[in-house]
Chain A
Amino acid sequence: MKNKKFGGRHPERVRASERPKDLSSGDLEGIARRVLDLSEADETEVEISAATDALTRFANNTIHQNVAERTLSISVRAVVDGRTARATTNKTGEESLRRVVASAAALARNEPENPNLLPMLRAQKYKKVARFFAATAATTPEARARAVKRVCSMADKNKQTAAGIFSSGSMRSVLANSKGLFARYEQTRAEFSVTILEENSSGWAKANSPDVRQIHPDALAESASRKAAESRQPRELAPGRYTVILEPPAVLDLLGFLFYDFAGTAMLDKRSCLSGRMGKKIFGENITIWDDAYHPLQWGAPFDGEGVPRQKVLLVERGVPKNLVYSRATAKKMKAKPTGHGFSLPNEYGEAPMNLVIAGGDQSVDEMIRATERGILVTRLWYIREVDPYEKILTGMTRDGTFLVEGGRVAGGIRNFRFNQSIIEMLANADMLGPSVRAAGEESFEMVVPAMRVRGFHFSEVTKF
């Protein structure tokens, strides 16, 4: 039956016994122990990650790229006389391991002493997270191709053109040091993203999850198809300030630009837009934000780049920025406690919240549309860049499904706008929030985020399509 569906062809499979064997957590731990044994530095840390990733890419209703990769990274940080540096290799032979250990120490010896360097952490306890799904790791090129084939057939049937990706992969990592710390993490990842094009319109949808069974390519493609159809023959509106309804990916892509400002290091460096604004009500009463690596819709390791357990941190409470996140060194400088958000050392940016959860409301996008006399519905934003780092003015474009809302209903597609908008002002003017969902965009990392209706959003120019 399956073969008949695909024209009777039998794709040649790589037999399970022929497939390259993934490195197990035990393999990685063995390499880590060997690295630590080889090092003569005062302190040594080793990060090892092994990943298998595959991505099927389609456009013009056909698969045009289809790739897979297996990668390994063995990264060693040495501390010598109060100095630290990092060397990385992807070679596992004894000679390569000796060389990478020696390189890290040699680099460290040749830099000035670092007065802020802290001793490495001892063993830590971590909360368990379950983010490795066998079904995702076992996804085959044929399974991805079959899903893509269905989406392309749907587009053909609708006289539309589909483009997108279907990816799947897995990674295992170990972080260990000579003080006895040993942290392990494994995760799978699946993602489907689709753009459906018509002659003068397009629609887009995207989802990702550690569990491939949570990814529904047909439903995503149908949503994108509907948007493309509903935005045909877009009309041009004059630039200006509009009420906007931002779907979750659009909110995500904007807010991603705000959160490096919640790093203690950014505050010390005086490049945070929160300088002079902590504890002040700068956003609306309805804006509350956490960083929470343990949220069921989040992913990522329960420890940071030095092995500090990640903590749930309340960043904004009812419109007031309350807390920052800290690496160990930044915490010491700022007389705070580490929150488990530090990057691997040595680095210059310190830390950042990477598991954002924005509190939602109870109004759906449909309810927002019904409650809007005149406004713009935005599916997705594109090429967002920071124009003013303190007022947090961002510029970018709408893309793949921008609609006029009139009299409480969607009144058709419009040509894409350029915006120049402060996101501090935006979060002060958000008057309706949807339920928080896991969303994926292109400009920022994944978040748990609601749709938002925002008053007075500034569209400064309009493009030609």
Chain B
Amino acid sequence: MQQLANWAMETVKRRGASYSDVRVMDIRLRDISVKNGEVGVLAESESLGIGIRVIASGAWGFAGTDRLTREGVQACAAEAVAIAKASALAKRENVALAPEQAYVDTWQNPFLKDPFRIPIERQIDLLLAADKEMRRVKGVTLAEGSMSFRRIEQLFASSAGSSIHQIKMQSGAGIVATSFAGSEIQKRSYPNSFGGQHMLAGYELVESLDLAGNAQRIAEECVALHSAAQCPEGQRTIILGSSQLGLQIHESIGHPIELDRVLGMEANFAGMSFLTTEKLRKLKYGSDIVNVVADARLAHGPGLGTFAYDDEGVPAQCTPIITNGLFTGYLSNRETAAAIGENRSNGTMRTESWNRLPIIRMTNISLNPGSWNYDDLIADTDDAILMETNRSWSIDDKRYHFQFSTEIGWEIKGGKKARMLKNPSYSGITTEFWNSCDAICSRDHWTLWGTPNCGKGQPMQTMGTGHGAAPARFRDVKIGAAFAK
């Protein structure tokens, strides 16, 4: 890998680049899915290539190739410089980067069981066992399960002298029961929707989920939803389960704090942000109990946003995003940090693969645990709706107005969980919503969820992000608008 990086950096230097960094990445994937007792997807893939980013004539250029001969790498490097010089045709100012030291280091996330060494038939059997349990429940019309594994080995090298070797192992799995009856399709997922739970971990994560042990329960809930009452419309207290709250954090905190959005760089596609720079350290984002961090360090947990160095060679950091309700930090890179006068990037540049330019991405954006025991929170709540497991999500292009619906809801009456509700939904304005938070459960109820499918950038990149959350209560929230007539 180092030889490939050296060929690239020698070429770009010779052609006049003032800065360069290179990522050589070797990515291995395994995907398995089952559906109604049969194998759906069974596939492995590998991809090895190099991405070369340069500043030349004061502007950016990037090129990536999987032709890893000396000639192929040198041609790619020359193309990156030529592209940078073409960029300079329409530049306003020279690119400026916040300072960063050079690092030489090696890192690998800890895991117990290499998922690529677990026999395929064992992995398929585990999914088929859960699938069978779901289909035993009368009324289930579709049972699905999936697993996916990623091993990413990468070398980052820069003209500043960094040489950072990292290996990340990622695992994930989940199951879904679907039931069609009359004129209604209902769905329940475990442990989360849209692919289940994903972490920077080995196969031990999949084994710990006990998919088969939870299959019957979610299948029964799925069928029971057909006869449940419809979630009402109106203004109500809601309690969000931790996985739903994880997605709420992702959409209404994680995205608006991306500094490239704030500065207009995503205006054509992903959109901008209501969090304009004058709001930093002034906006009351949430209530006093709301504390959110962006933490890429392993100490935060093995989330999909955990690493030792970002893809710009900046060490993993913990940045306070919301502190006792006050908005205190953005996600930055070296260029945007310099643009707003910060003295250092907080290390959030990430790339999907060798052929994509690193861009600002969420790391682990987590709501710190509160103090409530879950049972005590329910007992303390007189009239509310508990909503669990995301079904749909949508938010405007400044990340201000959102609407979420969940797979299942429960009435909370007089401090007790009462009848099941179907088609729950809630909507609101980001800051109004977070300011209405009056209770957050403790670390005993806190989970670091993985969102493996966050899309951003042009060309589009998919990235895994982490979101720690515990169930929390919000007052006076609009519910039911999704199904209002």
Write the residues of chain A forming the contact surface with B, with a CB cutoff of 8 angstroms: 6, 9, 11-14, 18-20, 53-72, 75, 84-91, 100, 103, 107-108, 110-112, 114, 116, 140-142, 144-146, 148-149, 152, 161, 163-165, 167, 193-195, 197, 202, 204, 269-271, 275-276, 346-348, 382-391, 393, 395-397, 399-400, 416, 418, 420, 442, 460-465
Do A148 and B458 touch (CB < 8 A)?
Answer: no
- Contact flag A144-B86 (CB < 8 Å), given A418-B401, A463-B400: yes
By a CB distance below 8 angstroms, the chain A residues around B483 are 387-388, 393, 420
A348 touches which one: B33, B92, B269 (CB < 8 A)? Answer: B33
Residue of B nearest to A93 (CB): B68
Docked complex Cα distance between A90 and B309 (Å):
26
Contact of B86 (CB < 8 Å), options: A66, A84, A387, A461:
A66
Chain B residues near A348 (CB, 8 Å)?
33, 35, 40-41, 144
Q: Which A residues are CB-close (under 8 A) to B46?
A: 88-91, 100
Q: Is B301 an interface residue (CB 8 A)?
A: no
A81 CA to B124 CA, complexed, in Å: 17
Residue B185 interfacial (CB < 8 Å): yes
Most buried by A among B78, B85, B356: B85
Q: Which B residues are CB-close (under 8 A) to A270?
A: 141-142, 178, 180, 185
If A14-B78, A55-B459, A110-B120 touch, does A420 touch B89 (CB 8 Å cutoff)? no
Are A395 and B482 interface neighbours, CB within 8 A?
A: yes
**Contact: B481 with A461, CB < 8 Å?**
yes
B79 at the binding interface (Cβ < 8 Å): yes
In the complex the two chains form, is A60's CB within 8 Å of B264's CB? yes
Measured CA separation A461–B429 after assembly (Å): 11
Tell which of A68, A86, A108, A346 touches B83, judged by Cβ atoms closer than 8 Å: A68
A390 to B44 CA separation, bound complex (whole angstroms): 34
Q: Is the interface of B mostly helix, strand, loop or mixed?
A: mixed
Q: Which residues of B contact A11 (CB under 8 A)?
A: 57, 82, 85-86, 88-89
With A and B bound together, what is the CA distance between A66 and B57 in angstroms? 13
Write out, one digit per residue, whether chain B residues 145-159 have a CB within 8 A of any chain A CB (1) or not (0). Answer: 000000000000000
For the complex, is B315 an interface residue (Cβ under 8 Å from A)? Answer: no
In the complex formed, the residue of A with least CB distance to B122 is A110
Residues of B38-71 at the interface with A, using a CB-CB cut-off of 8 Å, are 38-49, 57, 59-67
Given A107-B43, A348-B144, A399-B397: A70 and B427 interface contact (C-beta under 8 Å): no
With a 10 A CB-CB cut-off, give which of B87, B119, B269, B481 has the most chain A CB atoms.
B87
A384 touches B394 (CB 8 A): yes
Residues of B within 8 A of A112 (CB): 38-39, 124, 128
Whether, in the assembled complex, B425 has its beta carbon less than 8 Å from a beta carbon of chain A, the answer is yes
Contact A111 B121 (CB under 8 A): yes
**Interface residue B112 (Cβ < 8 Å from any Cβ of A):** no
Inter-chain contact total with CB atoms closer than 8 Å: 300
Contact in complex: A395, B392 (CB < 8 Å) = yes
Given A58-B90, A270-B180, A388-B483, A65–B396 Cβ distance below 8 Å?
no
State the CA gap A405–B124 with chains docked (Å). 57
CB-based contact A382/B397 at 8 Å: yes
Taking CB atoms and an 8 Å cut-off, the chain B residues in 431-485 that contact chain A are 458-459, 478, 481-484
Q: Does B419 contact A (CB under 8 A)?
A: no
Q: Which residues of B contact A462 (CB under 8 A)?
A: 401
> What 10 A-B pairs have minimum CB-CB distances, sorted nearest first?
A348-B40, A141-B86, A88-B45, A463-B401, A163-B267, A270-B180, A69-B355, A85-B42, A110-B120, A149-B90
Contact A91 to B48, CB < 8 A, known contacts A60-B263, A163-B268, A165-B458: yes
Contact indicator A140/B86 (Cβ below 8 Å): yes
When distances are taken between beta carbons in the complex, the residues of chain A under 8 Å from B93 are 62
Please measure, in the bound complex, the distance between the C-alpha atom of A382 and the C-alpha atom of B119, giving whole angstroms: 43
- Closest CB of chain B to A393's CB: distance in Å? 7
Contacts of A85 in B (CB 8 A): 42-43
- Complex contact B394–A383 (CB within 8 A): yes
Specify which of A9, A57, A65, A416 lies most central, judged by the most chain B CB atoms within 10 Å of its CB.
A65
Pick the residue among A14, A61, A63, A391 that contacts B59 (CB under 8 A).
A63
Beyond the given A14-B78, A114-B39, A269-B141, please list 16 additional residue pairs across the A-B interface where CB-CB is below 8 A: A11-B88, A20-B75, A55-B458, A55-B459, A59-B267, A59-B268, A67-B83, A88-B44, A88-B47, A89-B45, A89-B46, A110-B120, A111-B42, A141-B86, A165-B458, A420-B482
Q: In the assembled complex, which residues on chain A have CB atoms less than 8 Å from the CB atom of B75?
A: 14, 18-20
Task: Tell yes or no: B376 within 8 A of A by CB.
Answer: no
Using Cβ atoms and an 8 Å threshold, which residues of chain A touch B266?
59, 163
Check A271/B267 contact, CB under 8 A, given A69-B64, A383-B394: no
- Please tell me which one of the listed residues B15, B82, B271, B482 contacts residue A387 in the complex, with CB atoms under 8 A apart: B482
Chain A min CB distance to B261 (Å): 10
Cross-chain contact B88 with A9 (CB below 8 angstroms):
yes
Contact B48 A65 (CB under 8 A): no
Chain A residues contacting B67 (CB-CB under 8 Å) are 20, 70, 72
What are the residues of chain A within 8 A of B415 when measuring CB–CB? none
How many Å from the CB of B339 to the closest CB on chain A? 10
**Residue numbers in A under 8 Å from B421 (CB-CB):** none
